[in-house]
Amino acid sequence: MNTFGNIFRLTTFGESHGAAIGGVVDGMPPGIDIDMDFIQAELARRRPGQSRLTTARKEADQVELLSGVFEGKSTGQPIGFIVRNENQHSQDYENLRDVFRPSHADYTYWTKYGIRDHRGGGRSSARETIARVVGGALAKLVLRQLGIRVTAWTQQVGPIACDRDYTQLDLSQIEQNDVRCPDPVKAQQMADLILQVKADGDTIGGVIAGVIEGCPAGLGEPAFGKLHAMLGAAMLSINAVKGFEYGDGFAMAERRGSEVKDEFMAESPAPGDACDAAMRHTAASLSLATRTNHSGGIQGGISNGQPIPFRVAFKPVATLLMPQQTFDIHGNPVTINPRGRHDPCVLPRAVPIVEAMGAMVVLDAHLQHLACRA
Amino acid sequence: MNTFGNIFRLTTFGESHGAAIGGVVDGMPPGIDIDMDFIQAELARRRPGQSRLTTARKEADQVELLSGVFEGKSTGQPIGFIVRNENQHSQDYENLRDVFRPSHADYTYWTKYGIRDHRGGGRSSARETIARVVGGALAKLVLRQLGIRVTAWTQQVGPIACDRDYTQLDLSQIEQNDVRCPDPVKAQQMADLILQVKADGDTIGGVIAGVIEGCPAGLGEPAFGKLHAMLGAAMLSINAVKGFEYGDGFAMAERRGSEVKDEFMAESPAPGDACDAAMRHTAASLSLATRTNHSGGIQGGISNGQPIPFRVAFKPVATLLMPQQTFDIHGNPVTINPRGRHDPCVLPRAVPIVEAMGAMVVLDAHLQHLACRA
Amino acid sequence: MNTFGNIFRLTTFGESHGAAIGGVVDGMPPGIDIDMDFIQAELARRRPGQSRLTTARKEADQVELLSGVFEGKSTGQPIGFIVRNENQHSQDYENLRDVFRPSHADYTYWTKYGIRDHRGGGRSSARETIARVVGGALAKLVLRQLGIRVTAWTQQVGPIACDRDYTQLDLSQIEQNDVRCPDPVKAQQMADLILQVKADGDTIGGVIAGVIEGCPAGLGEPAFGKLHAMLGAAMLSINAVKGFEYGDGFAMAERRGSEVKDEFMAESPAPGDACDAAMRHTAASLSLATRTNHSGGIQGGISNGQPIPFRVAFKPVATLLMPQQTFDIHGNPVTINPRGRHDPCVLPRAVPIVEAMGAMVVLDAHLQHLACRA
Amino acid sequence: MNTFGNIFRLTTFGESHGAAIGGVVDGMPPGIDIDMDFIQAELARRRPGQSRLTTARKEADQVELLSGVFEGKSTGQPIGFIVRNENQHSQDYENLRDVFRPSHADYTYWTKYGIRDHRGGGRSSARETIARVVGGALAKLVLRQLGIRVTAWTQQVGPIACDRDYTQLDLSQIEQNDVRCPDPVKAQQMADLILQVKADGDTIGGVIAGVIEGCPAGLGEPAFGKLHAMLGAAMLSINAVKGFEYGDGFAMAERRGSEVKDEFMAESPAPGDACDAAMRHTAASLSLATRTNHSGGIQGGISNGQPIPFRVAFKPVATLLMPQQTFDIHGNPVTINPRGRHDPCVLPRAVPIVEAMGAMVVLDAHLQHLACRA
């Protein structure tokens, strides 16, 4: 399905070479100032052609909000929006019309639907994430008022990793380089690697790290709606993602309980500074912080008020600018030699997408939480 | 929310020390033979007290199906079921009534709801997963007819890992030891470690690996309903899970596209052997296999017919049988020294839970797929 | 599907002659006193054998809550519950095993599922509504705190109608007679008619009227989630219901706009007495009442603070105690002559079911409303 | 919420005086010929200014499909679409900015959201139904292949009613007059009445009748997803609707069971001509018709293969071109004297909207049914 979320819901549509990418945000709280410059700036962070590290496809990616806003404020009604596609080179794909590219979704779409738009990956193109960035930007406008921040950065490109975590990094440096890594030395190494890979006609994978800060205790649902399960589903739904972990993640598999327990420490002033709206709905008469945060800010699926760090693994893009053997829809072997404009590494452009998905998950959890008490 | 799935839906209820754990399976296809012995055997794999590696709590975990079955066959109507709780020692928890145990959900439930059942973890107890195993067993009865198998095993306990993957292991050996690791040498090492940890009053984490075999091409939905996103959400909703990856997972972050592309090879006889029901709904006139499976059987969120391997990281259980500092609901510091019957390592008992969630995801995707073509 | 509602959700299961009828209420607000006597009293209003006007089937209909309640209060966790079936006479149905009774669901279930539990109507039996009454009783416990009341009564049985509406009736008289009609003269006429119909082995239809009072302005969603659309869906999902109208309903089709406009009048003290919880979420700085209420308390799908009157049409029960021609599953003509214990008129027992569905709709709308503002 | 349906889902957005009305259809089956002329013709049936009986607002209501269609066929991907608003006269509403018009949604939106777009009714305008007509047209393109037809007509305007039902009328005459009543004599009387009402600055209500033909047995879900409950919810979500009934509807309340039982008669050739796709999923080895159809083609919430007749009551439009007393948002009494372009009677233009909602419900039920058997 093409809808995400429970209360704050994003529905997306659009193909890479169709008329437009767009979507509908339902459940947007009313009375929020709609900062169009901010929304467009978020799209600019995801836009192709923004640096020499990305595809050369040039798209303005100008968004038009079609509804749900009145005199600059949200009205609580659904916000429909579109971004016209402009710089398609559909003819680049004509020779791929009947061919299944390896490690692409060509074969699976064809098997599922018996028909597919082969141009630029059609619906499976990462251009779909434009709609997510718009949805995420709207969510961020609400979260801003609640004091909640979702921040992501490129933590690893191929074997080059920035091992320091959010407590040790200056996150204000993320946007200071094209890679979106807050460690300038690592960022330079990553950029060099990406350019080398690009020169080889190859691609490279990586990891994006993120952290949710200012999240009040109490968000998330027990059982199947655990906050990190929603977060994981959100991240895994992004193109090219192969893994998700939060808190100490996979590393916790090697640890003893005594090593990773997060002990409480009393917090001075009681509830409410961070998020009055949420606090209205809790019976909490005190607020406790933890000394450590191995758990990643969530216990039993519900936030505990600590930061929520997470990591998302991306595979290398499947489009390689080199000859490859494959088959066409008639079962005949063919050799393809893709040309065109492709990202050697999606990480830098995926940073705002990860943030967008995270922002929508947290806002949705917040709104759901408001409905859990009469 | 306490409901999982879209067409095949499981709703669960119940607390650790309440009257019963139970649930409702909605969307069960009609005409399926309901093999009660199989369902009960699946519960036995999850049951406490099954070996010296687990908690000593003794529960028969006898399930009663209350509806939706007529003369041994499913009718397509909802299957309600309950498992009575019998061996609670609620008094063991009386001194924890007002106390927040570190790294447990005590504090977060209390913050969210203003009230909690403190006995045995209440709703946050892993006893809730009984209902998942029942739901998964019902799903497996359907998948069996479709030729789809979901298999999981203990791959890692603490630092002891079985590095061979599903292509190199004899999965029929999984149930031959208490740890549920198909490698008997590693299984013995893992068991020894668990017993050592237990003797220390400590706990240990680990990784469960799984693989879905016989899954036809075409399952899963683009955008937000990607098959691996649903699988990830399912796994992350299991108690104590901290991470999920599929295919080559996080390791793919370090690789180049040219190293991990999965080339097709023609498959001899065309569609349909695996799953006629699904095939009815595809326009596929041929079927292609891949030489390698770095992608993990899914492209663009849709299965390609190859096996789907995945890994799930579990943290060490939070209940430690040693003194710990914490706070009560009045903000007063207290020292707790938990006694009782706890698992030093959840991995062996979590294997059937992972399989159950996987089975429900795949069956749900199959049923959804049937509805995607008129 | 067997789940109703968005935030406050009821899932039901069970057949007439199966082990039990039951359900799960998810989204119950925490901290609510669970008045078991009240819940059981609601079931008693629906119970068979309660008067000479109903079926003679004797059922205690004793409900057991299995979870979600701790020390007498709701915890916010799902409330599983069951009511055991006790007084089945399944042998009465043995000769109907392969027969399609006219105007019953026998044929449609068989066509849809290829299998059916023929005993007592199986899943299509009105015994399923037991679970609705339990769900409605839990909803009423919450609504009571919010000052919202849902009241229903038998307005019409066959041609005998009580034409006065809620403004002209003493609703406290509803439970003073077996028919549940607040007009004692009409009630007597209705009872006489039902007994006559029963003596004839026949059945008779009717209309239940209801009114929601104390509902604050602002509940309901625009477009597809209109409050009256949810209410209508709820009522139409009750067995034997053929029509729904609210406000002036079908009579409005004959009227001019100038005749049915509801003009406002200023209301003295401004917001909030009725429902502070809802009011927390409105920006309303004043509150207006209307002089008339042709619209039925809802404008554009959203409540306006006035009472919400509605009517629900019931067909006569399909089970007739007289010989009838029909066919079996092999296409052979057969004559059936049903015996057994059946209601000549469902109206008296359907009154609490209508109230239950109404209560769940309003509570769900209230909880949804809480989530519409950040 | 602004999404309708389970598998075939329509999400809508847009205000009367905003940039555009639009929506997203998700779950459109692939491979369907997208007949743009048909879609546009359906919009023309709903378009303002189509005859002297409707509002004079002139709108081309030209729809643009933005995605989900490739080389003239649906791809199974979401179809985003927009219809630009062109002929707004927003200044006509400036004096109503702070005023609550009687029997409109002005007050309820303001109470719920604290902000509203007052221009032309904003989101509560019936212009939202443009998106429903597009969604319904797409559904009809699929139903056409399945042999299912949904037809509606104006049955009553004020006191003038066409009492003959679908078995007695020539439905091909519906589009032969501006009122959309298949009885030409009644149509003329209705038209005369509407013009009289219009001259008075008043409005008038009415009833639209509809029938679903060619619907195979087996569609609809027991319990809460009954086919008529979904149909009722769909109709009640249309602006100005006050009631819904199907089969003999409210008239059944007056009848005895023996009078309205629908006896079966054997049908000659067994399953499948109408709808092979559905039949693939039934175990039905024979097919039975009924002699009468009091039940309205549905038993126990599931279709039985007979036509499904229904009726929908519309109130008179609330906008009167005459002076009225009311209040503004400050609680001050004001007199309004609306001018502008309004429908004296919505019935003629609502016919395609009723058909659209009916078509989406039936297609959704069909697709859901495909998923009920493995």
ipTM associated with this complex? 0.96
Output the pLDDT for position B284.
58
DSSP character at residue D337: -
Q: Kindly report the average pLDDT of chain D as a whole number.
A: 93
Beta strands C3-4 and C9-13 are: antiparallel
Q: Do D76 and A9 touch (CB under 8 A)?
A: no
Interval C86-115 mean pLDDT = 90
Residue B288 pairs with which residues in a beta bridge?
A: B266
Q: In Å, what is the CA distance from D130 to each residue of A66, B190, D354?
A: 15, 64, 12
Which parts of chain C fold into alpha helices (H)?
36-46, 106-113, 129-146, 184-199, 227-236, 257-260, 276-279, 347-370
Q: Is the pLDDT of residue C223 over 70?
A: yes
C-alpha neighbours within 13 Å on the C-beta side of residue D303: 27
Which parts of A26-69 fold into alpha helices (H)?
36-46
User: How close is the nearest chain C Cα to the Cα of B83, in Å?
Assistant: 10
Percentage of chain D exceeding pLDDT 90: 84
User: How close is the nearest chain A Cα to the Cα of D80, in Å?
Assistant: 6
Counting as low any pLDDT under 50, the low residues of chain A are: 269-281
Under an 8 Å CB criterion, which residues of C touch A?
7, 27, 29-32, 76-77, 142, 145-146, 222, 277, 280, 283, 363, 366-368, 370-374
Smallest Cβ distance to C29: which of A7, A366, A372?
Answer: A372
Q: Do A217 and B247 touch (CB under 8 A)?
A: no
Q: Is the pLDDT of residue D272 over 60?
A: no
β strands within D27-133, DSSP E: 63-65, 69-70, 73-74, 79-84, 99-100
Residue of D nearest to A76 (CA): D113
Query: Which residues of chain B are within 8 Å of residue C23 when distances are taken between CB atoms?
Result: 24, 80
Query: Which residues of chain B are within 8 Å of residue A219 when distances are taken between CB atoms?
Result: 112
Output the pLDDT for position A282.
53
- Percent helix, strand, coil in chain C (nearest 5)? 35, 20, 45
Q: Is the pLDDT of residue D274 over 50?
A: no
- Between chain B and chain D, how many beta carbons pairs sit less than 8 Å apart? 57
Q: Do A222 and B109 touch (CB under 8 A)?
A: yes
Residue of B nearest to A115 (CA): B283
pLDDT in tens, B218-246: 999 999 999 999 999 999 999 999 999 99
Residue of C nearest to D264 (CA): C326
Q: Is residue D353 within 8 Å of D133, Cβ to Cβ? A: yes
Output the pLDDT for position A66.
98
Q: Is the pLDDT of residue C263 over 70?
A: yes
The single residue listed with the structure tokens 């020539």 is D170
User: How close is the nearest chain B Cα to the Cα of D143, in Å?
Assistant: 9
Helix, coil or strand: residue B242? strand
Q: How far apart are CA B348 and CA B351, in angstroms?
A: 6
Q: Do B146 and D277 touch (CB under 8 A)?
A: no
Query: Which residues of chain C are within 8 Å of residue D223 when distances are taken between CB atoms?
Result: 1-2, 4, 12, 123, 128, 237
Q: Is the pLDDT of residue D50 over 60?
A: yes
pLDDT in tens, D132-146: 999 999 999 999 999
Q: How far apart are CA C215 and CA C150, in angstroms?
A: 9
Q: Is residue A202 within 8 Å of A195, Cβ to Cβ? A: no
Would you state the structure tokens that stand for residue C43, as one six-digit string?
């079931």
Beta strands B9-13 and B149-157 are: unpaired
**Which amino acid belongs to residue A319?**
T
Q: Do C11 and B78 touch (CB under 8 A)?
A: yes
* Residue A192 CB contacts under 8 Å (≥ 6 apart), including other chains: none
- Between chain C and chain D, how many beta carbons pairs sit less than 8 Å apart? 385
Q: Is residue A13 within 8 Å of D79, Cβ to Cβ? A: yes
Helix, coil or strand: residue D323? coil
Output the pLDDT for position C278.
41
Based on DSSP, count helices (H) and strands (E) in chain B, helices before strands. 8, 19
Q: Do D13 and A22 touch (CB under 8 A)?
A: no
Residue of D108, D231, D259, D298 to mutate when probing chain C, most C C-beta within 10 A: D108
Mention the CATH class of domain D3-373.
Answer: alpha beta
Output the pLDDT for position A285.
66
Q: Is the pLDDT of residue D90 over 50?
A: yes
Output the pLDDT for position A284.
58
The neighbours of chain B, by the rule of 3 or more Cβ pairs under 8 Å, are A, C, D
Smallest Cβ distance to D77: which of A11, A15, A76?
Answer: A15
Would you state the structure tokens that stand for residue B52, as one six-digit string?
């010296």
* Centroid of chain to Cα A68: 24
Q: In Å, what is the CA distance from A61 to each residue of A41, A83, A130, B337?
A: 10, 6, 8, 59
Give the Cβ contact number of residue B178 at 10 Å.
18
pLDDT in tens, D178-192: 999 999 999 999 999
Residue A340, sorted as left (phi over 0), alpha (psi -120 to 50) or beta, turns out to be left
Interval C24-36 mean pLDDT = 98
* Centroid of chain to Cα D83: 18
Q: Do B70 and C117 touch (CB under 8 A)?
A: yes
Task: Find the radius of gyration of the CA atoms of chain A.
Answer: 21
Output the pLDDT for position B348.
97
Output the pLDDT for position A280.
44
Interval D4-10 mean pLDDT = 98
Query: Which residues of chain C are within 8 Å of residue A222 when distances are taken between CB atoms?
Result: 77
- Between chain A and chain D, how many beta carbons pairs sit less than 8 Å apart? 150
Residue of C nearest to B17 (CA): C67
Give the Cβ contact number of residue D62 at 10 Å.
11
Judged on CB neighbours under 10 Å (0-12, 13-18, 19+), A341 is: middle
Q: Is the pLDDT of residue C3 over 70?
A: yes
Q: Do A374 and C222 touch (CB under 8 A)?
A: no
User: How close is the nearest chain C Cα to the Cα of A262, in Å?
Assistant: 25
Q: Is residue A318 within 8 Å of A342, Cβ to Cβ? A: no
Query: Which residues of chain A are within 8 Å of residue B204 when distances are taken between CB atoms?
Result: 255-257
Helix, coil or strand: residue C80? strand
Output the pLDDT for position B309.
98
Q: How far apart are CA D271 and CA D285, in angstroms?
A: 7
Smallest Cβ distance to D117: which of A19, A27, A75?
Answer: A75
Q: Is residue B160 within 8 Å of B179, Cβ to Cβ? A: no
Smallest Cβ distance to B13: which of C1, C66, C74?
Answer: C66
Q: How far apart are CA C44 and CA C58, in angstroms?
A: 11
Output the pLDDT for position D266.
81
What is the domain partition of chain B in residue ranges?
3-373
Would you state the structure tokens that stand for residue B40, as one six-digit string?
């009960």
C-alpha neighbours within 13 Å on the C-beta side of residue A348: 28
User: How close is the nearest chain D Cα to the Cα of A167, in Å?
Assistant: 39
Would you state the structure tokens that stand for residue D49, as one six-digit string?
């200014």
Q: Is the pLDDT of residue C271 over 80?
A: no
pLDDT in tens, B138-161: 999 999 999 999 999 999 999 999
Band (pLDDT 50/70/90 cuts) for residue D269 is very low
Long-range contacts of A283-288 (CB under 8 A, 24+ apart): A283/B110, A283/B113, A283/B114, A283/B115, A283/C31, A284/A217, A284/A218, A284/B110, A284/B111, A284/B114, A285/B329, A286/B329, A286/B330, A286/B331, A287/A217, A288/A264, A288/B100, A288/B107, A288/B327, A288/B331
Counting as low any pLDDT under 50, the low residues of chain B are: 269-281
Q: In Å, what is the CA distance from C326 to each residue of C240, D263, D286?
A: 21, 6, 14
Closest CA to A277 of A32, A81, A9, A3: A32
Q: Do C156 and D253 touch (CB under 8 A)?
A: yes
Output the pLDDT for position D153.
98
Output the pLDDT for position A167.
94
Q: Is the pLDDT of residue C279 over 70?
A: no
The neighbours of chain C, by the rule of 3 or more Cβ pairs under 8 Å, are A, B, D
Q: Is residue C275 within 8 Å of C367, Cβ to Cβ? A: no
Q: Is residue D348 within 8 Å of D51, Cβ to Cβ? A: yes
Would you state the structure tokens that stand for residue B70, as one six-digit string?
């007529």
Q: Do C123 and B30 touch (CB under 8 A)?
A: no
Would you state the structure tokens that stand for residue C299, as one six-digit string?
């404008």
Q: Do C221 and D1 touch (CB under 8 A)?
A: yes
Closest CA to C271 of C289, C262, C258, C284: C284
